[in-house]
């Protein structure tokens, strides 16, 4: 974790929180409507990818960390989400 003495700009963090709330309500709506299918699965996985990346970048402060830590996180998220997509595809 990079320790910075610089002031933290709260605006991106507040916007991140609002986007996270909006996407979560979107996921809940999809769940309550019982929607399914390839496009819905893709939408949910894309939403998950966006949400996790926003948390990592803006909340965890990965944005200010070394490139290698950001690459590891990006690779981790893509591998997990792609693996889930592959499993769903195998399930038909």
Partner 1 sequence: MIWIFIYAELLVFGILFLAYAFARSHNVALFDAGQAHLDRTAGAFNTLVLITASYFVVRAVAAIRDDRRSTCARWLLAAVGMASVFVVVKLGEYAEASAQGFRMSTNTFFMFYWSLTFFHFMHVLLGMVILLAVWWKTRHGAYSAAEHTGVETGASYWHMVDLVWIVLFPLVYVMH
Binding site for partner 1 (CB under 8 A): 1, 3-8, 10, 13-14, 16-17, 20-21, 24-25, 27-28, 30-32, 36, 41, 44-45, 47-48, 51-52, 55-56, 58-61, 65, 69, 72-73, 76, 79-80, 83-84, 86-88, 90-92
* Shortest spacing between CB 52 and partner 1, in angstroms: 5
* Shortest spacing between CB 13 and partner 1, in angstroms: 5
* Shortest spacing between CB 63 and partner 1, in angstroms: 12
Contact in structure between 54 and 73 (CB atoms under 8 Å):
no
């Amino acid at each position: 974790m990079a320790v910075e003495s610089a002031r933290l700009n709260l605006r991106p963090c507040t916007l991140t929180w609002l986007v996270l709330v909006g996407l979560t309500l979107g996921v809940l709506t999809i769940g309550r409507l019982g929607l399914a299918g390839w496009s819905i699965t893709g939408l949910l996985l894309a939403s998950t990818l966006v949400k996790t990346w926003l948390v990592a970048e803006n909340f965890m402060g990965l944005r200010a960390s070394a490139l290698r830590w950001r690459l590891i996180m990006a690779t981790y998220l893509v591998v997990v989400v792609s693996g889930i997509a592959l499993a769903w595809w195998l399930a038909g």
